[in-house]
Amino acid sequence: MTKSIAAFQDEQGRITGWPSDRRRAHQLAILDYFTGLFEPGVSYTAEQVDKILSDHSSAEDMSVFLTELVEGDYLATKDGLYWRADARPGALTASE
């Protein structure tokens, strides 16, 4: 991804908000950044996903990030678990 997410990060490197739709390349860069926070082949509970996103974001409403990750096929979900869509989960579950 060639677009930088720096304009959407605070001093600690956390994502501060979601770019407008006309800045789709920046949205995709942020989704790539968030996807990289999840280990391939590992399943995460909703609480674990929320914690990961909140640890790396200072935005007031982080639900847009999870919605975009799932709808954009970056994360897959079933039965209350989430995993990277590019790596089906095995027997591994992220520890809290």
Q: pTM for the full model?
A: 0.83
Rounded to an integer, what distance in angstroms lies between the CA atom of residue 90 and that of residue 75?
A: 15
Phi then psi for 87, rounded to 5 degrees? -150, 100
Backbone angles phi, psi at 68, to 5 degrees: -65, -40
The 3 state secondary structure assigned to 61-89 is CCHHHHHHHHHCCCEEEECCEEEECCCCC
Q: What is the pLDDT of residues 46-70, one digit of tens each?
A: 999 999 999 999 988 889 999 999 9
Q: 10-50 pLDDT, tens per residue?
A: 999 999 989 888 888 999 999 999 999 999 999 999 999 99
